[in-house]
Copies of this chain bind each other. A is one copy, B any other.
Amino acid sequence: MPATNRRITFARSPRGLPTPADFGADEAPIPVPGPGQFLSRTVYLSLDPYYRNVMKNSPIYAERLAPGDVMIGETVAQVLESHHPGFAVGDHVAVRNGWQQFALSTGEGVRRLDPAVAPLSTALGVLGMPGLTGWAGMVHLGEPLPGQTVVVSACTGPVGSTAGQVARKMGARVVGVAGSVEKCDYAVRELGYAACVNYKDGDLAAKLKDACPRGIDVYFDNAGGETLATVLRQLALGARVVLCGMIEAYSMDEPPPGPPLGSVVGARASLKGLVVYDHLHRFAEMNRVVSGWIREGSFRYREDVTEGLACAPEAFCRLMRGGNFGKALVKVAPESL
Protein backbone atom coordinates (compact mmCIF):
# COMPACT_ATOMS: atom_id res chain seq x y z
CA MET A 1 0.00 0.00 0.00
CA PRO A 2 1.40 3.38 -1.01
CA ALA A 3 2.20 5.95 1.66
CA THR A 4 0.23 8.77 0.07
CA ASN A 5 -3.03 9.41 -1.74
CA ARG A 6 -2.52 10.74 -5.26
CA ARG A 7 -5.32 13.07 -6.34
CA ILE A 8 -6.38 15.00 -9.44
CA THR A 9 -7.72 18.43 -8.60
CA PHE A 10 -9.82 21.12 -10.21
CA ALA A 11 -7.63 24.03 -11.34
CA ARG A 12 -10.02 26.34 -13.20
CA SER A 13 -13.20 26.47 -15.26
CA PRO A 14 -12.34 25.49 -18.84
CA ARG A 15 -12.95 27.82 -21.72
CA GLY A 16 -14.69 25.80 -24.39
CA LEU A 17 -13.45 22.23 -24.58
CA PRO A 18 -11.46 21.29 -21.47
CA THR A 19 -7.69 20.84 -21.60
CA PRO A 20 -5.36 19.03 -19.17
CA ALA A 21 -4.23 22.45 -17.90
CA ASP A 22 -7.68 22.85 -16.34
CA PHE A 23 -6.67 20.18 -13.81
CA GLY A 24 -3.99 19.93 -11.15
CA ALA A 25 -2.47 17.04 -9.16
CA ASP A 26 -1.25 16.62 -5.62
CA GLU A 27 -0.58 14.05 -2.93
CA ALA A 28 -2.08 13.87 0.54
CA PRO A 29 -1.91 11.47 3.47
CA ILE A 30 -4.19 8.47 3.19
CA PRO A 31 -7.17 9.36 5.38
CA VAL A 32 -8.11 7.35 8.45
CA PRO A 33 -11.74 6.26 8.87
CA GLY A 34 -13.57 7.46 11.98
CA PRO A 35 -16.59 5.79 13.63
CA GLY A 36 -19.24 4.83 11.04
CA GLN A 37 -16.83 5.39 8.15
CA PHE A 38 -14.91 3.15 5.80
CA LEU A 39 -11.81 3.70 3.71
CA SER A 40 -11.79 2.44 0.14
CA ARG A 41 -9.32 2.13 -2.67
CA THR A 42 -10.49 3.44 -6.05
CA VAL A 43 -10.49 0.77 -8.75
CA TYR A 44 -12.34 2.46 -11.65
CA LEU A 45 -13.03 6.14 -12.10
CA SER A 46 -16.00 6.99 -14.30
CA LEU A 47 -15.61 9.86 -16.77
CA ASP A 48 -18.94 11.51 -17.52
CA PRO A 49 -19.68 14.57 -19.67
CA TYR A 50 -21.66 16.25 -16.90
CA TYR A 51 -18.39 16.84 -15.01
CA ARG A 52 -17.75 19.55 -17.61
CA ASN A 53 -20.88 21.33 -16.40
CA VAL A 54 -19.82 20.97 -12.77
CA MET A 55 -16.51 22.56 -13.76
CA LYS A 56 -18.53 25.57 -14.94
CA ASN A 57 -19.77 25.89 -11.36
CA SER A 58 -23.19 26.12 -12.96
CA PRO A 59 -26.05 26.69 -10.52
CA ILE A 60 -27.93 23.64 -11.83
CA TYR A 61 -25.53 21.31 -9.99
CA ALA A 62 -25.41 21.09 -6.23
CA GLU A 63 -21.66 20.60 -6.26
CA ARG A 64 -19.20 23.48 -6.29
CA LEU A 65 -15.50 23.23 -7.02
CA ALA A 66 -12.83 25.60 -5.77
CA PRO A 67 -9.28 25.53 -7.22
CA GLY A 68 -7.37 22.74 -5.49
CA ASP A 69 -10.47 20.68 -4.66
CA VAL A 70 -10.35 17.02 -5.64
CA MET A 71 -12.36 16.51 -8.86
CA ILE A 72 -15.73 14.95 -8.13
CA GLY A 73 -16.71 11.69 -9.79
CA GLU A 74 -18.25 8.25 -9.49
CA THR A 75 -16.01 5.30 -8.84
CA VAL A 76 -15.92 1.59 -8.17
CA ALA A 77 -13.78 0.91 -5.13
CA GLN A 78 -12.80 -1.83 -2.70
CA VAL A 79 -13.16 -1.44 1.05
CA LEU A 80 -9.78 -1.44 2.83
CA GLU A 81 -10.76 -0.65 6.39
CA SER A 82 -14.25 -0.33 7.85
CA HIS A 83 -15.90 1.02 10.96
CA HIS A 84 -19.28 0.77 9.24
CA PRO A 85 -21.51 -2.24 9.97
CA GLY A 86 -22.78 -2.40 6.37
CA PHE A 87 -19.42 -2.66 4.63
CA ALA A 88 -16.70 -5.25 5.20
CA VAL A 89 -13.07 -5.24 4.16
CA GLY A 90 -12.84 -6.58 0.60
CA ASP A 91 -16.34 -5.50 -0.40
CA HIS A 92 -16.67 -3.82 -3.76
CA VAL A 93 -18.78 -0.68 -3.82
CA ALA A 94 -19.99 2.04 -6.15
CA VAL A 95 -19.04 5.21 -4.31
CA ARG A 96 -18.28 8.81 -5.20
CA ASN A 97 -14.57 8.79 -4.34
CA GLY A 98 -13.71 11.42 -6.94
CA TRP A 99 -10.44 11.51 -8.84
CA GLN A 100 -8.19 10.06 -6.14
CA GLN A 101 -6.71 6.76 -5.03
CA PHE A 102 -8.29 6.59 -1.57
CA ALA A 103 -11.29 8.14 0.10
CA LEU A 104 -13.51 7.89 3.17
CA SER A 105 -17.25 7.30 3.06
CA THR A 106 -20.10 7.27 5.56
CA GLY A 107 -21.90 4.76 3.36
CA GLU A 108 -24.46 7.31 2.21
CA GLY A 109 -25.46 6.75 -1.39
CA VAL A 110 -23.08 3.79 -1.65
CA ARG A 111 -24.10 0.60 -3.45
CA ARG A 112 -22.54 -2.78 -2.70
CA LEU A 113 -21.61 -4.64 -5.86
CA ASP A 114 -21.74 -8.37 -6.50
CA PRO A 115 -19.17 -9.43 -9.13
CA ALA A 116 -21.34 -12.48 -9.88
CA VAL A 117 -24.15 -10.27 -11.20
CA ALA A 118 -22.01 -8.46 -13.78
CA PRO A 119 -18.46 -7.16 -14.19
CA LEU A 120 -17.70 -4.49 -11.59
CA SER A 121 -17.04 -1.75 -14.13
CA THR A 122 -20.61 -1.93 -15.43
CA ALA A 123 -21.72 -0.26 -12.19
CA LEU A 124 -20.39 2.97 -13.72
CA GLY A 125 -21.90 2.37 -17.17
CA VAL A 126 -24.80 0.31 -18.37
CA LEU A 127 -25.67 -0.80 -14.81
CA GLY A 128 -25.02 2.63 -13.31
CA MET A 129 -26.39 6.11 -13.76
CA PRO A 130 -25.77 6.15 -17.54
CA GLY A 131 -27.71 2.91 -17.90
CA LEU A 132 -30.54 4.22 -15.75
CA THR A 133 -30.61 7.36 -17.90
CA GLY A 134 -31.02 5.34 -21.07
CA TRP A 135 -33.51 2.95 -19.49
CA ALA A 136 -35.78 5.52 -17.86
CA GLY A 137 -35.62 7.86 -20.84
CA MET A 138 -36.63 5.16 -23.28
CA VAL A 139 -39.09 3.15 -21.20
CA HIS A 140 -40.82 6.03 -19.43
CA LEU A 141 -40.44 9.07 -21.71
CA GLY A 142 -39.76 7.71 -25.19
CA GLU A 143 -42.31 4.89 -24.87
CA PRO A 144 -41.68 3.27 -28.26
CA LEU A 145 -44.30 0.90 -29.59
CA PRO A 146 -43.45 -2.32 -31.45
CA GLY A 147 -42.45 -1.58 -35.02
CA GLN A 148 -41.88 2.12 -34.44
CA THR A 149 -38.67 3.80 -35.54
CA VAL A 150 -36.37 4.95 -32.75
CA VAL A 151 -33.29 7.10 -33.34
CA VAL A 152 -30.55 7.35 -30.71
CA SER A 153 -27.56 9.69 -30.92
CA ALA A 154 -24.20 8.95 -29.28
CA CYS A 155 -25.56 5.49 -29.78
CA THR A 156 -22.55 3.43 -28.70
CA GLY A 157 -21.98 5.19 -25.39
CA PRO A 158 -23.38 3.83 -22.13
CA VAL A 159 -26.52 5.98 -22.21
CA GLY A 160 -27.19 5.60 -25.92
CA SER A 161 -26.40 1.90 -26.11
CA THR A 162 -28.76 1.24 -23.20
CA ALA A 163 -31.51 3.41 -24.70
CA GLY A 164 -31.10 1.79 -28.09
CA GLN A 165 -30.96 -1.80 -26.88
CA VAL A 166 -33.92 -1.28 -24.55
CA ALA A 167 -35.90 0.07 -27.52
CA ARG A 168 -34.90 -3.00 -29.53
CA LYS A 169 -36.08 -5.23 -26.68
CA MET A 170 -39.40 -3.30 -26.74
CA GLY A 171 -39.87 -4.30 -30.38
CA ALA A 172 -38.83 -1.05 -32.01
CA ARG A 173 -36.61 -0.61 -35.05
CA VAL A 174 -33.52 1.25 -33.85
CA VAL A 175 -31.38 3.57 -35.94
CA GLY A 176 -28.21 4.88 -34.34
CA VAL A 177 -26.27 8.07 -34.95
CA ALA A 178 -22.55 8.00 -34.15
CA GLY A 179 -19.34 9.74 -35.14
CA SER A 180 -17.26 7.08 -36.91
CA VAL A 181 -17.47 4.10 -39.24
CA GLU A 182 -16.19 1.85 -36.44
CA LYS A 183 -18.91 2.97 -34.06
CA CYS A 184 -21.58 2.49 -36.73
CA ASP A 185 -20.32 -1.00 -37.58
CA TYR A 186 -20.37 -1.91 -33.91
CA ALA A 187 -23.88 -0.49 -33.45
CA VAL A 188 -25.32 -2.66 -36.20
CA ARG A 189 -23.25 -5.79 -35.56
CA GLU A 190 -23.17 -5.89 -31.77
CA LEU A 191 -26.03 -3.72 -30.54
CA GLY A 192 -28.55 -5.06 -33.05
CA TYR A 193 -29.57 -1.71 -34.52
CA ALA A 194 -31.28 -1.82 -37.91
CA ALA A 195 -28.97 0.89 -39.23
CA CYS A 196 -26.50 3.50 -38.03
CA VAL A 197 -25.64 6.86 -39.58
CA ASN A 198 -22.20 8.47 -39.26
CA TYR A 199 -22.96 12.16 -38.70
CA LYS A 200 -19.40 13.14 -39.59
CA ASP A 201 -19.88 11.70 -43.05
CA GLY A 202 -22.04 14.57 -44.34
CA ASP A 203 -25.69 14.89 -45.39
CA LEU A 204 -27.15 13.56 -42.19
CA ALA A 205 -30.66 14.53 -43.34
CA ALA A 206 -30.58 12.35 -46.45
CA LYS A 207 -28.97 9.42 -44.64
CA LEU A 208 -31.53 9.57 -41.84
CA LYS A 209 -34.33 9.73 -44.38
CA ASP A 210 -33.01 6.57 -46.04
CA ALA A 211 -32.77 4.82 -42.69
CA CYS A 212 -36.16 6.07 -41.44
CA PRO A 213 -38.48 6.13 -44.47
CA ARG A 214 -41.64 6.31 -42.33
CA GLY A 215 -40.31 9.10 -40.13
CA ILE A 216 -38.94 9.04 -36.60
CA ASP A 217 -41.32 8.06 -33.80
CA VAL A 218 -38.91 8.39 -30.89
CA TYR A 219 -35.64 10.30 -30.71
CA PHE A 220 -33.34 9.92 -27.74
CA ASP A 221 -31.13 12.99 -27.92
CA ASN A 222 -27.63 12.85 -26.50
CA ALA A 223 -26.32 15.46 -28.88
CA GLY A 224 -28.39 18.62 -29.31
CA GLY A 225 -27.17 20.98 -32.04
CA GLU A 226 -27.49 20.13 -35.71
CA THR A 227 -28.35 16.47 -35.10
CA LEU A 228 -31.38 17.45 -33.04
CA ALA A 229 -32.47 20.06 -35.59
CA THR A 230 -32.18 17.52 -38.41
CA VAL A 231 -34.17 14.86 -36.56
CA LEU A 232 -36.95 17.31 -35.69
CA ARG A 233 -37.59 17.86 -39.41
CA GLN A 234 -38.21 14.11 -39.85
CA LEU A 235 -40.53 13.38 -36.94
CA ALA A 236 -43.50 11.09 -37.48
CA LEU A 237 -46.91 12.19 -36.22
CA GLY A 238 -47.09 12.02 -32.44
CA ALA A 239 -43.34 11.60 -32.02
CA ARG A 240 -41.61 11.77 -28.64
CA VAL A 241 -38.21 13.42 -28.26
CA VAL A 242 -36.26 12.72 -25.08
CA LEU A 243 -33.88 15.58 -24.32
CA CYS A 244 -31.05 14.08 -22.33
CA GLY A 245 -27.53 15.38 -22.72
CA MET A 246 -26.68 18.43 -24.74
CA ILE A 247 -23.02 17.61 -24.49
CA GLU A 248 -22.05 20.16 -27.10
CA ALA A 249 -23.51 22.92 -24.94
CA TYR A 250 -21.59 21.79 -21.85
CA SER A 251 -18.44 23.33 -23.31
CA MET A 252 -20.09 26.66 -24.11
CA ASP A 253 -20.42 29.63 -21.79
CA GLU A 254 -23.71 30.81 -23.29
CA PRO A 255 -26.41 28.33 -24.21
CA PRO A 256 -26.57 28.05 -28.00
CA PRO A 257 -29.87 28.72 -29.78
CA GLY A 258 -32.03 25.67 -30.16
CA PRO A 259 -33.59 24.03 -33.19
CA PRO A 260 -36.54 25.59 -35.04
CA LEU A 261 -39.69 24.18 -33.45
CA GLY A 262 -42.18 24.56 -36.30
CA SER A 263 -41.84 20.91 -37.28
CA VAL A 264 -42.58 19.90 -33.67
CA VAL A 265 -45.98 21.56 -34.03
CA GLY A 266 -46.59 19.99 -37.43
CA ALA A 267 -45.81 16.53 -36.06
CA ARG A 268 -47.84 17.10 -32.87
CA ALA A 269 -44.68 15.92 -31.18
CA SER A 270 -43.61 16.13 -27.55
CA LEU A 271 -40.15 17.14 -26.36
CA LYS A 272 -39.44 15.90 -22.85
CA GLY A 273 -36.60 16.87 -20.55
CA LEU A 274 -34.92 13.95 -18.78
CA VAL A 275 -33.04 14.22 -15.50
CA VAL A 276 -31.93 10.84 -14.23
CA TYR A 277 -32.30 11.76 -10.55
CA ASP A 278 -36.09 11.68 -10.97
CA HIS A 279 -35.83 7.97 -11.75
CA LEU A 280 -33.69 6.61 -8.93
CA HIS A 281 -36.63 4.54 -7.72
CA ARG A 282 -36.38 2.55 -10.96
CA PHE A 283 -32.74 1.61 -10.36
CA ALA A 284 -33.32 -1.87 -8.91
CA GLU A 285 -35.68 -2.85 -11.71
CA MET A 286 -33.30 -1.61 -14.40
CA ASN A 287 -30.43 -3.45 -12.76
CA ARG A 288 -32.33 -6.72 -12.47
CA VAL A 289 -33.53 -6.68 -16.08
CA VAL A 290 -30.42 -5.38 -17.82
CA SER A 291 -27.99 -7.54 -15.82
CA GLY A 292 -30.11 -10.55 -16.81
CA TRP A 293 -29.78 -9.58 -20.46
CA ILE A 294 -26.03 -9.15 -20.03
CA ARG A 295 -25.66 -12.61 -18.47
CA GLU A 296 -27.71 -14.24 -21.23
CA GLY A 297 -25.64 -12.38 -23.86
CA SER A 298 -28.46 -10.41 -25.47
CA PHE A 299 -27.32 -6.97 -24.34
CA ARG A 300 -23.86 -5.64 -25.19
CA TYR A 301 -21.72 -2.82 -23.93
CA ARG A 302 -18.31 -1.47 -24.64
CA GLU A 303 -15.76 0.26 -22.46
CA ASP A 304 -12.93 2.66 -23.28
CA VAL A 305 -10.48 2.14 -20.45
CA THR A 306 -7.50 4.41 -19.77
CA GLU A 307 -4.81 3.05 -17.44
CA GLY A 308 -3.67 5.15 -14.51
CA LEU A 309 -5.15 8.04 -12.59
CA ALA A 310 -2.52 10.45 -13.94
CA CYS A 311 -4.01 10.04 -17.42
CA ALA A 312 -7.55 10.91 -16.31
CA PRO A 313 -7.43 14.59 -17.38
CA GLU A 314 -6.33 13.75 -20.90
CA ALA A 315 -8.91 10.93 -21.10
CA PHE A 316 -11.65 13.31 -19.98
CA CYS A 317 -10.66 15.88 -22.60
CA ARG A 318 -10.75 13.17 -25.25
CA LEU A 319 -14.27 12.17 -24.10
CA MET A 320 -15.46 15.76 -24.46
CA ARG A 321 -14.06 15.84 -28.00
CA GLY A 322 -16.06 12.68 -28.79
CA GLY A 323 -12.86 10.64 -29.11
CA ASN A 324 -13.95 7.77 -26.87
CA PHE A 325 -15.59 4.58 -28.07
CA GLY A 326 -17.73 3.13 -25.29
CA LYS A 327 -18.02 4.00 -21.64
CA ALA A 328 -15.02 6.13 -20.62
CA LEU A 329 -13.28 4.69 -17.57
CA VAL A 330 -9.95 5.16 -15.88
CA LYS A 331 -8.49 2.08 -14.26
CA VAL A 332 -6.86 3.36 -11.10
CA ALA A 333 -5.90 0.05 -9.45
CA PRO A 334 -6.48 -3.73 -9.80
CA GLU A 335 -9.99 -4.89 -8.97
CA SER A 336 -8.77 -6.86 -5.93
CA LEU A 337 -5.60 -6.82 -3.93
Q: Which residues of A contact B (CB under 8 A)?
A: 60, 224, 228, 243-244, 246, 249, 255-275, 278
17 A-B residue pairs with CB within 8 Å: A243-B261, A244-B265, A246-B262, A255-B260, A255-B262, A258-B258, A258-B259, A258-B261, A259-B261, A261-B271, A265-B274, A267-B273, A268-B273, A269-B272, A270-B270, A270-B271, A270-B273
Which residues of the partner chain B approach A274 to less than 8 Å between Cβ atoms?
Answer: 265, 268
Chain B residue with Cβ nearest A272: B270
Which residues of the partner chain B approach A261 to less than 8 Å between Cβ atoms?
Answer: 224, 228, 243, 246, 258-259, 271, 273
Which residues of the partner chain B approach A268 to less than 8 Å between Cβ atoms?
Answer: 272-275, 278
Chain B residue with Cβ nearest A268: B273
The smallest beta-carbon distance between A255 and chain B, in angstroms, is: 4
The smallest beta-carbon distance between A113 and chain B, in angstroms, is: 29
Q: Measured between alpha carbons, how far is A271 from B262 in the docked complex, in Å?
A: 12
Q: Measured between alpha carbons, how far is A224 from B258 in the docked complex, in Å?
A: 12
Q: Measured between alpha carbons, how far is A319 from B128 in the docked complex, in Å?
A: 54
The smallest beta-carbon distance between A101 and chain B, in angstroms, is: 34
Chain B residue with Cβ nearest A278: B268
The smallest beta-carbon distance between A154 and chain B, in angstroms, is: 15
Chain B residue with Cβ nearest A273: B265
Which residues of the partner chain B approach A255 to less than 8 Å between Cβ atoms?
Answer: 260, 262-263
Q: Measured between alpha carbons, how far is A263 from B243 in the docked complex, in Å?
A: 10
